[in-house]
Amino acid sequence: SLEARERAFRVPREHPPGERDFAFLVPEAVSAGALVDLLKTEGRPVVESAFVFDRYVGDPVPKGMTSVALRVIFSVEGRSPTESEIDQVVAK
C-alpha cells in the first residue's frame, strides 16, 4: 500500500558509508554474535554496524567448523570513510 511505502522511505545519507562483506571460518562453538561484537569493538570508531547474512556448515567446510559471512558498514561522522581507514580495520 502507499501508506506502507511512505513509512519505509528514508532520507539518503549526505555521506555514504562504506560496505564490505567478509567470510570467517571458525570453530562451530564460536557464536556469530561474538564475531559481530568483536568487529564492532575492534573497529571503533569506523565500524558503524555489522550483521550476519549467511552461515554455512557442510562440504567443503571442515568438520567442526562453520563459515560465517558478515556485512560490515563503515562510517565516519561528517564524511565518508576513506579506503585507508577501512583497510586499517580489515588489517586488525
Residues of the chain with pLDDT under 50: none
**So what's the pLDDT on residue 23?**
93
C-alpha cell at 64: 567442526
**So what's the pLDDT on residue 15?**
85
First vs last C-alpha separation in the chain: 45
Q: What distances in angstroms separate CA 35 from CA 41, 62, 85, one per listed residue?
A: 10, 19, 20
**So what's the pLDDT on residue 64?**
96
- Inter-residue contact 85 to 46 (CB < 8 Å): yes
